[in-house]
Structure 1
Amino acid sequence: MAGSSSRKAGLSIFSSIRRTSERAPSSAKSSGDRTGRRGPYSRNELFRSVESVLGILIIIGAGAVVYDVLAGSRGLDLGYFQANWLRYARAVQVNLLATSIAFVVGMGIGFLVGWARSTRTQPIRKILSDFHQAKVQGTARGRSALAVTIAVAGVRHYLRRIADGYVEAIRGTPLFVQIIFAYAVATTFYPRLAGVEFFAGVVALTINTGAYQGETFRAGLQTVHTGQVEAARALGLSRWGAMRHVVLPQALRLVVPPLTNEYIGLFKASALLYFISVFEITFLSKQEAYQGHPFESFAMITGIFLLITVTIARVVQYFEARFRIPGLGIEPARD
């Protein structure tokens, strides 16, 4: 009896395994049909390829229409590009120099502004109330220590309000107006300064990017959870040590993509320096357009701006993917 029961159990197990193996291909086939995958490529990948080709064709067609409107039957003077590309390359160096100086200095301003705006401060009414209680109660030494603490909190409170006002003022006014205002101030106080136009333009770009980078740094610093800072302080790190070893390594990785976008936007905005007579690439293009080469000159600066901005974006994307920490920041898009 025992042998027959064991044989029946073995046969039942074998039959169940066989039924499972027979159902597996059909389930795999149905799952493959649900994902739309046929062969090495999926339907989504095929659709994306078709859309990319259509997008390229639309761009080529739009470029042909623009060329026909601007150049017409006169045609495109290819010899102009060969004869003048070096002049445009030298002119765009002024844009890159102004952008780089403003971005680096603005990064220092932006970090301080972001740090000031990310710190938690007590309301001024609460600070004054605590100060009044310290004068009435407690020992002289305790009142002095509490007064110093409240004074520091008050300074932080007003620094944050100043940073808030700076960011709102810059973000609420056009960059063009800021450039004109900086130029008017510079020419009023330093009329004989050599290169006053370039100086005023760099100052305006610096003040502008400092406010926008301040928002970027504020968001990056606030992304790091306060529990990590408290844990670092519990392990014996000072406030600056926690900021240096815990907060900054994570925050700086998070702010690299938006800072890259800020640099690219600032580089494109440097074309506005043309209005205060800075001899940069747009100024040169305007002169060449008046001399009978409107399409060639603006096609040249369009290609140069695209080449520089796309190159910067791709290089930063490579290093961002190369040094990305899993689980930190925004993951790449997935289908």
Structure 2
Amino acid sequence: MKLRDLGEFPFLHRLRERLPADPRVLLGVGDDCAAVALPGTTVLTTDAMIEGVHFRREWTTLTMLGAKAFAINASDILAMGGDPTFALLSLGVPQETEVEDLDAFFEGFLRAASDCGAALIGGNMSAAPCLMISVTLLGQTVHGVLARAGARVGDDVYVTGTLGDAALGLRMLQEGRSDAAAEQVKARFLCPTIRFAVSRELAARHLAHAMIDVSDGVLQDLGHLCAASRMGAVIDAPSLPLSESYQTLLGKNQWNTALTGGEDYELLFTAAQDQRETIGQLAQTSHCPITRIGHIVAQAEGLTVRGPDGTPLTVARAGFDHFRQDRK
């Protein structure tokens, strides 16, 4: 059945029946506004995904797309040291969309939200020429807000997971590659992993001085962190964590994509040098690699990437920008 045959309100009625009860939600889907109980400090974020710009339908399933729509917003909340709580979801949907496809999208979105303890409490649907997804996500910070500002001279710079896989996965999708290494990096683009356990421990134990998620490339996002902190930084390129698939596809010493590729959704943070052992233990207990990739310096020294011999490397561009003419 197509959405134009079922209609907006019958679909929303079906959706309401799928939403689990949540004691924090006073009024959810079905009223003009949602009403929720919000103790403590609330952080909010919003992000959009547009067909033909951020994804192609032939590359992914609707279930995976729903999960990613939640994950990329949750990553922002985690980067602030928060726990996701409530989501608002607005969709622009072509009238010819199959109802089963839209059901699959919500299945992925709701499952990802449930995994983080978050609830969908409202939103909007409209007819559109292509699939357009806009999510607003709220989160609660029990241990205070962890911002981009706060890095200090001498801090170590850390990143979770591996870098450059998502951007490389996008390239493999564009090129139609399907070998084992290509499939692994494509999965990183289509199904990002958010670092919930690491974020929670960093916030609860006050280990990080500043943090940001890597959505536009580690070089560009570290630049944002440094600008907010009024600091500079040095990145040691040989220390960048590269997956086996990345090295198979590009080579061990090819760092440009790892530095500038977007949509990794890893956590990038700074911490005092005397926390190295503690952060190493956190990597083990959270089952998530955490790699020291550089250090913070005075603002006047700028942001530098050093090669194996310690000399500065030239990087073509800092990272992803929606409005650059040369973006791919």
Both proteins in one fold, TM over 0.5: no
Give 1 or 2 for the bigger CA radius of gyration: 1
Q: If each structure's strand is expressed as a fraction of its own residues, which one has the higher value?
A: 2
What TM-score, normalized to structure 1? 0.21
